[in-house]
Amino acid sequence: MSDQVMTSTRFLNEGTKFECVCCGQVYFDHTGHCNHCQAPTSISRVVAERDGKPKFLCVLGASGAGKTVYLGMLLDMLTKGTKGLQGLPNNSFSVSVQQQTMNALERRRFPEKTATESDTWKWIHCEVNYRKKKDNFFDIITPDFAGEAISEELENPGQYPAVGHIIRRSQAVLVLVDSIRVRDLGRDEDFFALKLLSYLESVRKPTGKNAAKRKTDLPVAIVLTKSDACPEAMQDPAEFARHNLPGVDQYLNRHFNDYQFFAVSAVGASVSLVDAHGRTEQIPMHIEPLGIVEPFEWIIKR
């Protein structure tokens, strides 16, 4: 009895040694997450216990671009099974993102804004099986980044190390861009996405022979969100991007080998709720996802 108590006390004091799945740092677990990049230990543990390397997928975008809605919706659709894909959330954080997003949308609200503090980010880990083949599976591992943190990291690289580490390990990147803001609010979205792409390129720069002449191999899906209210984007995302995101279009063409534009939406119609102080909140009247899985499917085929 006394031995058992001593054993558990020893583990409590020293923790268990883990290699972080995100940044690769070896650490003793005391807090449940890596002390460098804040990736949850539970994900590192699951990946360590399983054969095969995890495949990361990174979802980036400015604040308010719709990352949480997109990820929550994607997880829920994959869990239900769609287009030959079947997902299984592998940790409680993933279920939380799914649950909070779905609960909010079903009750005609958008989920709360993701906090900037990296230790509060919900890390998603979903194992996805493709076409029901036993070995044909991969993981989506990505934190639900706060847009402000991405913005900070672009300005001061290293501020949020998880962003860089995830991009370094990702098999593909989804860059979410708010199509309504692109259409209605000038070039700001274009500039932000441009900075993001330039950051991606700096992190995933080709190395070796003729590196300077080669384009980056990282597949990039530019996902135009909220396109239910921007039919121009829905009709032809690439054409819309050519005219409204000229910087992004040219940069991708010049620096990336493999990219594609997509238009997605989760909402069928929306109205605005205005309070006595003039604060406005968008209300989704009903939910009809459109194009959510397509960027993901495109990435799988890469």
Partner 1 sequence: MSFLSKLKRKGNSPAEPRGKRRDSEPRTVASVCYARHLTDPDASDYEITKAWSQVEKEMVIVAEGSVGLASLSPDDLDQLDSRENSQLVHVDAFYVDRFAVTNDQFQVFVDDGGYENFDLWPESVLPMVLNFVDTTGCPGPAFWANGRTPQGRGHHPVVGVSWYEAYAFARWCGKRLVNCAEWQHAATWADSGSGRHRYPWGDSFNANFANTWEAKREDTVPVDQYADGATANGIHQMVGNVWEWTDTLFEAQMSKGLRIVTDGPMAEIRGGAYDTYFTSQATCRFRSAQAIAARHPNLGFRLCLTASDLCQPNDSYAFCDQGE
Helix (H, G, I), strand (E, B) or coil at 33: strand
Contact (Cβ atoms closer than 8 angstroms) between residue 215 and residue 257 = yes
Q: Helical H runs in 122-270?
A: 147-155, 161-169, 179-184, 188-203, 231-235, 237-244, 246-255
Q: Which residues contact 89 (CB under 8 A, 6 or more apart)?
A: 75, 79, 95, 98, 124, 125, 126
Minimum CB distance to partner 1 smaller for 143 or for 289:
289
Q: Tally DSSP H helices, then E strands, for the chain.
A: 12, 11
Least separation in angstroms between residue 191's CB and partner 1 is 26
At position 221, the amino acid (one-letter code) is A
**Token match 């003729």: residue?**
210
Binding footprint of partner 1 on the chain (CB under 8 A): 82, 105-109, 268-269, 271-276, 280, 283, 285-290
Minimum CB distance to partner 1 smaller for 152 or for 294:
294
Distance CA 201, CA 46 (A): 30
What number of other Cβ atoms are within 10 A of residue 246's Cβ?
13
Distance CA 127, CA 5 (A): 36
Minimum CB distance to partner 1 smaller for 117 or for 184:
184
Minimum CB distance to partner 1 smaller for 45 or for 108:
108
Minimum CB distance to partner 1 smaller for 83 or for 214:
83
Least separation in angstroms between residue 164's CB and partner 1 is 35
Minimum CB distance to partner 1 smaller for 111 or for 219:
111
Least separation in angstroms between residue 100's CB and partner 1 is 14
Least separation in angstroms between residue 129's CB and partner 1 is 17
Least separation in angstroms between residue 52's CB and partner 1 is 30
Least separation in angstroms between residue 284's CB and partner 1 is 10
Minimum CB distance to partner 1 smaller for 52 or for 268:
268
Strand locations in the chain (E): 16-19, 26-29, 56-61, 85-89, 123-130, 137-143, 170-178, 220-225, 259-263, 265-274, 280-290
Least separation in angstroms between residue 274's CB and partner 1 is 5
Distance CA 74, CA 108 (A): 18
